[in-house]
Amino acid sequence: MNSINLNISFEQYSGIDELTEKDRTLCQQAEQALATSYSPYSKFRVGTAIRLASGEIVLGSNQENLAYPSGLCAERVALFAIGTKNPEAVIESMAITAQTDHFEILKPVTSCGGCLQVMIEFERKQQSPIEVIFYCLNGEILKVPSVKSLLPFAFAEDRLER
Ligand code: THU
């Protein structure tokens, strides 16, 4: 029997002012994306901003549906839009934030497993890491250097090979 430990490294910031200008802009854009959230059921708005290597920033927000599972998270809305419009795009970084009128969010909201699985697919396809910034509007920010570090045991396409 082997006992193995996995470590992940990430950066923690106490506010948006500590970020580089590029990252600060991305977080501000994610905050802007909250305005287009369609979340009448959860009343929980999620916004994302994705920076491409070209410098273009693509926004996404959660889009809910009366048939709950038909809705989609902000991250996947933005990623699938990139996959459709610009399939060769290289993603450098994505920022994610959330907001609700019902309580104060005091910690960064991190992506769900389904979104991480989609994010890791993009990372593998482009063969370069995607930085992920979880931005809490109240201050604390976490910056992770790659999606792989968040999902080390992700389902991999080699499982489908014969
Ligand atoms: N949500 C996201 O947009 N991203 C995530 O990674 C997790 C959850 C959305 C889905 C739903 O509209 C709302 O947040 C509450 O779960």
pLDDT digits (tens, 9 = 90+) for 64-92: 999 999 999 999 999 999 999 999 999 99
Percent of the chain at pLDDT > 90 equals: 94
pLDDT digits (tens, 9 = 90+) for 88-129: 999 999 999 999 999 999 999 999 999 999 999 999 999 999
Q: What rounded mean pLDDT belongs to the chain? A: 96
Residue ranges lining ligand 1, Cβ < 6 Å: 39, 42, 44, 46, 62, 64, 71, 73-75, 111-112, 115
Q: What is the DSSP string of 129-153?
A: --EEEEE-TTS-EEEES-STTT-TT
Of 46, 68, 101, 151, the one to substitute when testing ligand 1's pocket (max ligand atoms within 8 A of C-beta) is: 46
CA distances from 64 to 68, 77, 103, 146, 160 (A): 7, 11, 20, 27, 31
Nearest to 48 by CA among 119, 101, 107: 119
Calculate ∠ Cα 114-68-148, nearest 5°: 10
Nearest residue (by CA) to ligand 1, atom 2, is 73
Q: What is the rounded distance in angstroms from the CA atom of residue 48 to the CA atom of residue 80?
A: 13
Give 55's pLDDT tier (boundaries 50, 70, 90).
Answer: very high
Q: What is the DSSP string of 56-112?
A: -EEEEE-B--SSGGG-B-HHHHHHHHHHHH-TT--EEEEEEEEEESSS---SPPPPP
Query: Taking every pair of C-alpha atoms in the chain, what is the biggest distance, in angstroms?
Result: 51
Decide: helix, strand or coil at residue 159.
helix
Give the pLDDT score at 137.
Answer: 97
Q: What is the rounded distance in angstroms from the CA atom of residue 78 to the CA atom of residue 51?
A: 11
Within 8 A by CB and 6+ apart from 4, the residues are none
CATH 3.40.140.10, domain 11-155, yes or no: yes
Of 37, 42, 59, 62, the one to substitute when testing ligand 1's pocket (max ligand atoms within 8 A of C-beta) is: 62
Give 54's pLDDT tier (boundaries 50, 70, 90).
Answer: very high
Nearest residue (by CA) to ligand 1, atom 4, is 73
